Structures are given as structure tokens and as C-alpha cells.
């Protein structure tokens, strides 16, 4: 049995949290003794991990950014108790803590990096943390990137390449699959007829996701398909939500937008869409694209991170910040004949099954952790 401790700030609904949850809960219980430790308690994924009998879940219950001494005492006590052979951390601050504790207790340390760094941190503390990660990266036993783009950009900015590799995200195709009944049910909940074109954007309402590009393209496609509707799936701070709603109202499409907020059953939400639009300015390996493809949804993505690599020939890639090109891609997909659409949907799902399955990601990561834990 290899004792593995996963370390992360919190268990919210982000991509890193989702992949950690799938990995921790999916690893072979006969080969691994798995624990998950968080800086902060709660979050959308907390109950899912807490309900998995073979995974131990604890929180250091950090009170704020600067409550370091009590936090470190709890962290050291936990590691002394669990005696993990491998500590696998996700993101900048957990990476630093993992390296400190791992070296103190003789555990092997794996860093997980799931951003592309196309845009460097603006916050001075985050920027200093990034530089410190770059300097100390040579001391981690392994660095796992979820995207080739992330690997390339981090190495360019001083991260070690010697101990790094790429393990792309994996997607649960038993959970995400084409489902006509789910499509009808979700559309009915949104008050939308089944034959209305619906284009959606999925993700937190944050500037990096570039919802403004989505709305700018929506104005253009609305001139061609006036029956089209647009779904905004995800949540954000009140200020950002209010700003985006005001913007949509100012450009005249507010009445055509479904503000869905955060949704628990994302498989139904994907199935309700005709097209998923990824408008981001920065990505690693975007979960929403892989999940939508597994559901057979056509995707249009900006050329960021590994989004285009993930799509292959099963979708359309456009330049970032180009609403004309984004709208034209939507138009092309919307005008595909029904028979061709079905072939397109099937091919998208088959690509995920063949190259980006959850089982593939778990197997690749498990092999690495087992090698380190021997």
C-alpha cells in the first residue's frame, strides 16, 4: 500500500478541484491509502470526497491568508500522523507547503500545475509566490502539468523541465454522455423549446473567461438566427454578475440570455446546449470542453492553452478576442445538416473516450505515484 496525501487550498467547483476529486476517489483502494487535506473546509466537492469510504478527508481550517503558524502546526501534526510516502499538491501555495513538509518528513513531493501562466499574477503576493515556485521547482520529485501549453510556458518562465511531465485531464464518460431526455428536461426548466438554438458558455464569471467576447459574438449571431438563445452557466461575485447583466442589457441581448448560475447536474446542462463556446483568454486543459465533447456537444474554442489540442478535428478553433470569428464559427456549426451533426457529435465523444478518458488519467497518475512511493 502506497500512502498518498493530496493537498489543496479548498474543494470548490473549479477544474483542479474536480480533477483531484476524480483522482482521489478513483484510485485503486488495494494499492493506495488516500488522504485529502485542504487549507479551508467545505466547498462543492467536500461532500463527494467525504462520502467516499476509502478516502480520509481533513481540513486545516485556515482562518485567513496570514494565519500561518497555527496552520503549519496542524499540517505538521497531520503529516506526522499519516506518514505519507507521497504528497501530491495542487497550485502555488500548496506546492510550497508540500515541499516544506515533504522534505521535513522524508516524503516524495509531486507538484500539480493546472494553469498556463499566459497571464502572470497581478496580486503582488501571488506574483512572489509564482517566482518562489519557479526557483524551488527543481527540488520537487515530479511536476505534473495538465496541459502541454502549461508545461511550455512555465519552463520558459524558469520552472524546471528535468522533473516534469504532462498528464492531461480525464473525463468521466459514464457520467457525461449524450442524453436526449436530460436535454428536454433541462430546457423545460429553463423555459426553452427543444428546437431553439442554444449556445452556452460555462465557467466562473471572471474576466479571464471573457464573457464579453461571448456577448459580442451573440449580438452578431442573433442577426442571422433571431431565434437563438444564450446560456451563461456559472457563478461569480455580485459585482461581476451585475456588470455582465448590465453589459448584456446595453447591447440589447439581455432578454435572450439564460442566467443559469451554478448547476449541480452539469451533464444535463451540457446536453441542453447545441454549441459550447470557450471564450477564455487563458486555459490549461479546459474541463468544460472535454465534458461537453463527451456529451456530444459541438464546441468552438479560443486558441488558448490545450483547448485546440483537446478538440482535434472535432470542433472549431478561433482567435482570442475576435467576436466576428467566434460568431462565424457558431453560424457554420448551426448550419450543418442534421445527419452531419450526428456524425460530428459521435466523433467528439469518441475522441474523449480514446484519448482523454478518466481511467487513462487515473492509470497514468497512479503508475507515477506508485513508482515514487516504492
Is residue 364 included in any domain, yes or no?
Answer: yes
Looking at the structure, tell me whether residues 100 and 216 fall in a common domain: no
Q: What is the pTM of this model?
A: 0.90
Is residue 71 included in any domain, yes or no?
Answer: yes
Looking at the structure, tell me whether residues 309 and 327 fall in a common domain: yes
Is residue 175 included in any domain, yes or no?
Answer: no
Is residue 159 included in any domain, yes or no?
Answer: yes
Q: Are 58 and 78 in contact (CB under 8 A)?
A: yes
Looking at the structure, tell me whether residues 186 and 333 fall in a common domain: yes
Looking at the structure, tell me whether residues 349 and 361 fall in a common domain: no
Residue 286, SS3 per DSSP: coil
Q: Give the model's pLDDT for residue 63.
A: 77
Count of the separate structural domains present in the chain: 2
Q: Are 65 and 71 in contact (CB under 8 A)?
A: no
Looking at the structure, tell me whether residues 101 and 158 fall in a common domain: yes
Is residue 70 included in any domain, yes or no?
Answer: yes
Residue 121, SS3 per DSSP: coil
Measured CA to CA in angstroms, residue 215 lies from 181, 251, 330 at distances of 28, 8, 13
Minimal CA–CA distance to 144: which of 115, 165, 130, 163? 165
Looking at the structure, tell me whether residues 223 and 295 fall in a common domain: yes
Q: Distance between CA atoms of 6 and 167, rounded to whole angstroms?
A: 16
Q: What string of DSSP letters covers 42-102?
A: --TTHHHHHT-TTEEEEE----STT-HHHHHHHHHHHHHHH--SEEEEESHHHHHHHHHHH
Is residue 112 included in any domain, yes or no?
Answer: yes
Contacts of 109 by beta carbon, 8 Å cutoff, 6+ apart: 86, 87, 89, 98, 99, 102, 103, 139, 140, 141, 142
Given its phi and psi angles, is residue 296 left (phi above 0), alpha (psi -120 to 50 degrees) or beta?
left
Which domain covers residue 212, as residue numbers?
A: 180-355
Looking at the structure, tell me whether residues 161 and 253 fall in a common domain: no
Measured CA to CA in angstroms, residue 257 lies from 6, 149, 198, 303 at distances of 39, 33, 10, 25
Alpha-helical (H) ranges within the chain are 15-26, 46-50, 68-82, 92-105, 124-136, 148-156, 180-189, 211-224, 238-250, 266-272, 287-294, 307-311, 323-334, 338-355, 358-373
Q: Give the model's pLDDT for residue 133.
A: 95
Q: Distance between CA atoms of 177 and 199, rounded to whole angstroms?
A: 18
Looking at the structure, tell me whether residues 321 and 368 fall in a common domain: no
Q: What is the CATH number of the domain that holds 367?
A: 3.40.50.2000
Looking at the structure, tell me whether residues 125 and 201 fall in a common domain: no
- Please compute Rg for the chain using Cα positions: 21
Minimal CA–CA distance to 201: which of 144, 273, 264? 273
Q: Each residue's pLDDT tens digit in the chain (374 positions)?
A: 899 999 999 998 888 898 899 999 999 999 999 999 999 988 889 999 998 889 999 998 887 766 778 888 888 999 999 999 999 999 889 999 999 999 999 999 999 998 877 677 777 888 899 999 999 999 999 999 999 999 999 999 999 999 999 999 999 999 999 999 999 999 999 999 888 999 999 999 999 999 999 999 999 999 889 999 999 999 989 999 999 999 999 999 999 999 999 898 999 999 999 999 999 998 989 999 999 999 999 999 999 999 999 999 888 999 999 999 999 999 999 988 888 888 888 999 999 999 999 999 999 999 999 999 87
The three cell numbers locating residue 96: 510550497
Looking at the structure, tell me whether residues 314 and 255 fall in a common domain: yes
Is residue 197 included in any domain, yes or no?
Answer: yes
Amino acid at each position: 500500500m502506497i500512502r498518498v496525501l493530496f493537498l489543496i487550498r479548498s474543494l470548490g467547483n473549479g477544474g483542479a478541484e474536480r480533477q483531484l476529486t476524480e483522482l482521489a476517489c478513483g484510485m485503486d483502494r488495494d494499492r493506495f491509502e488516500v488522504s485529502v487535506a485542504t487549507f479551508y473546509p467545505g466547498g462543492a466537492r467536500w461532500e463527494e470526497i467525504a462520502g467516499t469510504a476509502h478516502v480520509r478527508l481533513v481540513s486545516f481550517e485556515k482562518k485567513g491568508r496570514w494565519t500561518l503558524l497555527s496552520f503549519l502546526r496542524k499540517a505538521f501534526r497531520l503529516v506526522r500522523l499519516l506518514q505519507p510516502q507521497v504528497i501530491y499538491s495542487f497550485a502555488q501555495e500548496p506546492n510550497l507547503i508540500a515541499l516544506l513538509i515533504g522534505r521535513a518528513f522524508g516524503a516524495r513531493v509531486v507538484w500539480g500545475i493546472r494553469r498556463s501562466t499566459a497571464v502572470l499574477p497581478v496580486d503582488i503576493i501571488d506574483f512572489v509566490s509564482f517566482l518562489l515556485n519557479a526557483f524551488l521547482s527543481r527540488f520537487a520529485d515530479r511536476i505534473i502539468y495538465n496541459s502541454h501549453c502549461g508545461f511550455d510556458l512555465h519552463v520558459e518562465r524558469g520552472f524546471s523541465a528535468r522533473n516534469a511531465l504532462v498528464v492531461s485531464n480525464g473525463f468521466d464518460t459514464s457520467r457525461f454522455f449524450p442524453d436526449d431526455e436530460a436535454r428536454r428536461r433541462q430546457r423545460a426548466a429553463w423555459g426553452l423549446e427543444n428546437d431553439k438554438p442554444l449556445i452556452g458558455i460555462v465557467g466562473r464569471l471572471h474576466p479571464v473567461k471573457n464573457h464579453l467576447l461571448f456577448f459580442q459574438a451573440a449580438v452578431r449571431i442573433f442577426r442571422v438566427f433571431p431565434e437563438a438563445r444564450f446560456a451563461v452557466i456559472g457563478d461569480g461575485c455580485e459585482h461581476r454578475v451585475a456588470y455582465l447583466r448590465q453589459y448584456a442589457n446595453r447591447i440589447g441581448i439581455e432578454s435572450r440570455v439564460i442566467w443559469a448560475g451554478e448547476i449541480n447536474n452539469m451533464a444535463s446542462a451540457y446536453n441542453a446546449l447545441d454549441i459550447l463556446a470557450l471564450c477564455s483568454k487563458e486555459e490549461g486543459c479546459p474541463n468544460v470542453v472535454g465534458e461537453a465533447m463527451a456529451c456530444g456537444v459541438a464546441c468552438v474554442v479560443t486558441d488558448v492553452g490545450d483547448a485546440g489540442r483537446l478538440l482535434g478535428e472535432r470542433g472549431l478553433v478561433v482567435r482570442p478576442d475576435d467576436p466576428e470569428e467566434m460568431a462565424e464559427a457558431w453560424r457554420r456549426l448551426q448550419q450543418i445538416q442534421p445527419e452531419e451533426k450526428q456524425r460530428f457529435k459521435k466523433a467528439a465523444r469518441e475522441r474523449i473516450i480514446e484519448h482523454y478518458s478518466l481511467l487513462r488519467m487515473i492509470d497514468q497518475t497512479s503508475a507515477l505515484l506508485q513508482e515514487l512511493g516504492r
